[in-house]
């Protein structure tokens, strides 16, 4: 963080405002704060009213450039006040502010006006800063936390809201941060979906008014994901053309929160674009008693001058280096086998052991037993909540299976769904009050289950307790942590009526604290966040979980499109991708094992097929490709991803390339989904290689259509490129390039 002028206390500002009134003097006296990282600069200052005003966010400025001091923007006729026109870093609702506020408060006396002014800034080294704001008359303080990553330029922002009034106040809206882009034409990119159809990338022009993307479901949700990217539309001749995959300016952000959330993307009447994001204000209120404070989640955001591809590469790098549990160096995920699609609930000792033997024979690293092993779980009607090993299915407990898995050279993982309960369970019979509910009202079941109210301390302790016991008594390396419904009737009658809505914060905080305690007590444990597929994927949960399950839909073609969408926001390191059976259970589509394997090899590979039905040839194919995958996995999951050909918009082709950070290796995948009218696969010009180094091509699968050199320079692969021999339906190819000494 750099400050151009010495820090000015609010009293100085007020004195200056009262006694000068001269614009030139103001410019000299108000402080400007500047954060530089990667290829971007972020700056804000204090304007003459004392508001914290956004000054700049974009490509990196010169080290000696002076950013002009903040001045509020003028009133636009009498209808749009200067307060509403001036972009603030964190605006309270009050003082004639009409656009989306960051914070909205009701005081005990009915006052609902909140105007936040600058008090002081405290630098925390060159990369971070804390700014204290205070209401103009009431004892409500907001500390804004800023830090910037030196490598990627990604900013982390959050707010801490403190009530120093003598009486409680009610927060009705509390954002983590607000971001402002200066007037222009922009395109919004965001991810939506549904069960078995997650990760659709939507792109639409930003017009006047507000666009809301959100979850009201208590958790992140399948419907929309807390990520956005806003690309600038070129106004040059032939335009407007929005920034594309590799060119143009893009501002992007992701919220680290696994509860209900909301982004409001708003074009103001002066054509600025403001993004406000944090706790979802819908059905929200948070009572802050005197002396209490509320921390918001962290809202990460960055800037790319290399289009959406550049934006996602920055995010991937940041997630690996700063978000994931083992950052900065999370190890590539083990290749797993999971029994769900093979057996569903019909798990038992002999059946799992037989699958484990087969999985080990193809080079799998981790064997995971899915749903069905506990309580009286025969199907989805019973058992959730009763976390004892089912004695009929596993008469000797889990130990014999775990030992067998270990003897085969794999580690062992287990499915759990800790936050849920079936009404048909001993737990519910004992504690019917433990679920989210409004007393005397119906309790809506989904998948025959109810949601335990994790905001309650006793429920939180129960969940942590049974998981701790499970992990202490069994040598378990991995938990697949599932969550198969959204909230309904989110009542919490244990606390007073005006505090019940704290459930939206406390539930998720307690979830995070369970993860955190378990990881402390069992430092080797690894966890997957699964929510009936990709219903709980966000940068909040990824601080505690090593991987996520993007979708229950494992069809390899659908997955190519979903993987494309997923990687705009999240690194392939966390993107678990299983190879399952053909024809696929969801759509009846038949595909070859090679096609399915290559589709899954774009992420962190897993096998979820029924190995009891595989032929000798299937085992040989899988063994060969798992071995090839192991060799290049670090590049695929940690490298720089280039989407060479997008599978979106019903494209018959798709291709990705990943280049290792040191440019020593590239891995390329190509897929044709259905050749039409004899059209050939597009010529592939690779990216991100060192033009002057020589690279040797090795096929993992497939060949080129035209003669191609075995060794050629990076310049050759990037400029001349190559033509894959890919024709027909559901065909795939993959190769690697290795830099030659
Ligand atoms: C939903 C998950 O997404 C599936 O992979 C599987 O674990 C089932 N739940 C088990 O009930």
Distance 585 CA to ligand 1 centre (A): 14
DSSP SS3 for 460: helix
How far apart CA 158 and CA 432 sit, in angstroms, is 37
Nearest CA to ligand 1 atom 5: 552
Cβ(552) – ligand 1 distance below 6 Å: yes
**Residue having the nearest C-alpha atom to atom 11 of ligand 1:** 371
Give the closest residue (by CA) to ligand 1 atom 3.
532
Mutate to test the pocket of ligand 1, among 484, 551, 580 (most ligand atoms within 8 A of CB): 484
Give the mean pLDDT of the chain. 94
Q: Does residue 162 line the site of ligand 1, with CB under 6 A?
A: no
How many Å lie between the centroid of ligand 1 and the Cα of residue 481?
Answer: 9
- The residue nearest atom 1 of ligand 1, judged by CA position, is 532
Q: CB of 371 closer than 6 A to ligand 1?
A: yes
For the Cβ of 530 lying below 6 angstroms from any atom of ligand 1, the answer is yes
Q: Is 198 in the pocket of ligand 1 (CB under 6 A)?
A: no
Residues sharing a CB contact under 8 Å with residue 109, sequence separation 6 or more, in sequence order: none
DSSP 8-state secondary structure symbol assigned to residue 379: S
Burial level of 495, CB count in 10 A (0-12/13-18/19+)?
middle
Pairing of strands 411-416, 478-481: parallel
685 Cα–ligand 1 center, Å: 39
Nearest ligand 1 atom to the CA of 344 is 10
Q: Whose CA is closest to atom 6 on ligand 1?
A: 340
676 alpha carbon, distance to own chain's centre: 36
Q: Is the CB of 578 under 6 A from ligand 1?
A: no
Cβ of 532 less than 6 Å from ligand 1: yes
Identify the burial level of 75 via C-beta atoms within 10 angstroms of its C-beta, where 0-12 means exposed, 13-18 middle and 19 or more buried: middle
Q: H helices within 231-365, ranges in order?
A: 307-318, 340-343, 349-361
538 lines ligand 1 (CB under 6 A): no
Q: Is the CB of 370 under 6 A from ligand 1?
A: yes
Token pair, residue 302, equals 């960055």
CA distances from 48 to 65, 180, 344, 500, 535 (A): 22, 19, 65, 40, 45
What is the model's pLDDT at position 9? 32
Cα 379 to ligand 1 centroid, rounded to whole Å:
12
At residue 239, the pLDDT reads: 62
Q: For residue 387, how far is its CA from the centre of ligand 1 (angstroms)?
A: 17
Looking at 180-339, list the stretches that DSSP marks H as alpha helix, in order from N- to C-terminal side. 307-318
Q: What is the mean pLDDT of each run of 10 residues along the chain (741 residues)?
A: 45 28 41 96 97 98 96 90 94 94 98 98 91 98 98 98 98 98 95 98 95 98 98 76 86 98 95 97 98 98 97 98 97 97 96 98 98 98 98 98 98 98 98 97 98 98 98 98 98 96 98 98 98 98 98 98 98 98 97 98 98 98 98 98 95 97 98 93 97 98 95 98 96 98 96
From CA 469, how far away is CA 477, in angstroms rounded? 14
Q: Which of 135, 546, 552, 555 is catalytic?
A: 552
CA of 520 to the centre of ligand 1 (A): 26
Q: Is the CB of 484 under 6 A from ligand 1?
A: yes
- pLDDT attached to residue 244: 87
The string of pLDDT tens digits covering residues 420-448 is: 999 999 999 999 999 999 999 999 999 99
Which residue has the CA at smallest separation from atom 2 of ligand 1? 532
Does residue 252 have its Cβ closer than 6 Å to ligand 1? no
Q: Which of 36, 482, 555, 564 is catalytic?
A: 482
Q: Which of 14, 50, 15 is closest to 31 using CA atoms?
A: 50
Pocket lining: 533 vs ligand 1, CB cutoff 6 Å: yes
- Ligand 1: residue of 196, 535, 552, 606 to mutate (most ligand atoms within 8 A of CB) is 552
Q: Please tell me the distance between residue 634's alpha carbon and the centre of ligand 1 in angstroms.
A: 27
> What is the reported pLDDT for 15?
27
**What is the DSSP code (8-state) at residue 611?**
G
pTM of the model: 0.95
- The dihedral over CA atoms of 483, 484, 486, 488, expressed in degrees to the nearest 10, equals -110
Pairing between strand 298-304 and 155-163?
Answer: antiparallel
Which atom of ligand 1 is nearest the CA belonging to 415?
7
Q: Name the nearest CA neighbour of 478 among 573, 570, 540, 547.
A: 547
Ligand 1 atom at minimal distance to the Cα of residue 480: 7
Closest CA to 609 of 598, 599, 618: 618
**Closest by CA position to 249, among listed 158, 319, 182, 176:** 182
- Mapped onto helix, strand or coil, the DSSP state of residue 233 is strand
The reported pLDDT for the residue numbered 240 is 61
Residue 165 Cβ inside 6 Å of ligand 1? The answer reads no
- Cα(110) to ligand 1 centroid in Å equals 48
Active site residue 482: yes
Rounded to whole angstroms, how far apart are CA atoms 578 and 299?
31
């Amino acid at each position: 963080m750099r400050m151009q002028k010495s820090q000015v206390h609010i009293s100085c500002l007020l004195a200056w405002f009262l006694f000068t009134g001269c614009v030139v003097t103001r410019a000299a006296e108000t402080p400007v704060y500047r954060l530089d990282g990667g290829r971007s600069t972020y700056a804000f200052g204090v304007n003459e009213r004392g508001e914290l005003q956004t000054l700049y966010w974009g490509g990196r400025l010169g080290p000696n450039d002076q950013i002009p001091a903040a001045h509020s923007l003028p009133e636009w006729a009498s209808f749009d006040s200067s307060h509403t026109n001036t972009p603030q870093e964190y605006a309270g609702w009050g003082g004639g502010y009409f656009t989306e506020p960051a914070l909205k408060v009701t005081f005990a006396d009915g006052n609902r006006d909140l105007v936040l002014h600058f008090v002081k800034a405290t630098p925390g080294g060159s990369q971070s800063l804390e700014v204290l704001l205070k209401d103009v008359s009431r004892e409500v303080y907001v500390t804004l936390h800023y830090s910037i990553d030196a490598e990627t330029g990604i900013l982390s922002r959050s707010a801490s809201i403190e009530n120093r009034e003598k009486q409680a106040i009610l927060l009705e809206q509390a954002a983590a941060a607000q971001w402002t882009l200066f007037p222009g034409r922009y395109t919004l990119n965001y991810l939506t979906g549904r069960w078995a159809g997650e990760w659709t990338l939507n792109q639409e022009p930003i017009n006047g008014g507000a666009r809301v993307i959100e979850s009201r479901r208590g958790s992140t949700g399948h419907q929309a994901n807390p990520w956005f990217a806003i690309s600038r539309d070129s106004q040059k001749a032939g335009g407007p053309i929005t920034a594309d995959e590799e060119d143009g300016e893009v501002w992007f952000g992701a919220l680290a929160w696994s509860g209900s959330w909301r982004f409001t993307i708003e074009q103001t009447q002066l054509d600025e674009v403001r993004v406000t994001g944090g706790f979802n204000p819908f059905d929200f209120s948070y009572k802050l008693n005197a002396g209490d404070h509320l921390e918001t989640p962290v809202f990460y955001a960055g800037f790319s001058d290399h289009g959406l591809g550049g934006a996602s590469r920055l995010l991937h790098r940041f997630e690996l280096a700063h978000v994931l549990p083992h950052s900065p160096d999370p190890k590539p995920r083990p290749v797993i086998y999971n029994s769900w699609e093979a057996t569903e609930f019909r798990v038992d000792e002999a059946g799992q052991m037989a699958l484990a033997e087969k999985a080990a024979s193809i080079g799998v690293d981790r064997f995971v037993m899915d749903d069905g092993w506990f309580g009286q779980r025969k199907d989805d009607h019973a058992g959730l909540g009763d976390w004892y090993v089912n004695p009929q299915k596993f008469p000797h407990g889990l130990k014999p299976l775990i030992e067998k898995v270990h003897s085969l050279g794999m580690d062992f993982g287990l499915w759990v769904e800790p936050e849920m309960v079936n009404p048909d369970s001993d737990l519910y019979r004992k504690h019917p009050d433990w679920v989210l509910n409004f007393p005397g009202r119906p309790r809506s079941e989904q998948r025959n289950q109810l949601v335990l109210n994790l905001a309650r301390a006793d429920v939180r302790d129960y969940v942590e307790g049974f998981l701790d016991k499970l992990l202490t008594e069994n040598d378990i390396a991995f938990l697949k942590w599932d969550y198969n419904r959204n909230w309904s009737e989110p009542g919490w009658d244990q606390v007073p009526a005006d505090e019940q809505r704290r459930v939206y914060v406390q539930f998720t905080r307690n979830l995070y604290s369970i993860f955190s305690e378990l990881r402390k007590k069992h430092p080797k444990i690894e966890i997957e966040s699964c929510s009936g597929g990709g219903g709980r994927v966000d940068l909040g949960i990824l601080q505690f979980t090593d991987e996520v399950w993007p979708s229950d839909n494992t069809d390899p073609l659908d997955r190519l499109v979903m993987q494309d969408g997923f990687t705009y926001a999240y690194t392939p390191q966390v993107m678990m991708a299983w190879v399952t059976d053909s024809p696929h259970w969801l759509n009846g589509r038949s595909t070859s094992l090679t096609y399915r394997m290559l589709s899954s090899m774009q992420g962190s590979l897993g096998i979820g097929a029924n190995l009891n039905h595989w032929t000798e040839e299937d085992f040989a194919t899988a063994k060969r490709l798992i071995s090839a995958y192991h060799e290049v996995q670090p590049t695929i999951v940690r490298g720089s991803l280039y989407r060479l050909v997008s599978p979106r918009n019903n494209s018959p082709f798709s291709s990705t390339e990943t280049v290792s950070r040191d440019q020593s290796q590239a891995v390329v995948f190509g897929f044709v989904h259905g050749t039409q009218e004899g059209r050939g696969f597009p010529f592939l010009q690779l990216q991100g290689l060192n033009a002057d180094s020589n690279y040797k091509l090795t096929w993992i699968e497939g060949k080129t259509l035209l003669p191609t050199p075995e060794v050629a320079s990076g310049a050759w692969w990037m400029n001349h490129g190559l033509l894959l021999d890919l024709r027909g339906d559901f065909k795939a190819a993959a190769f690697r390039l290795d830099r030659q000494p």
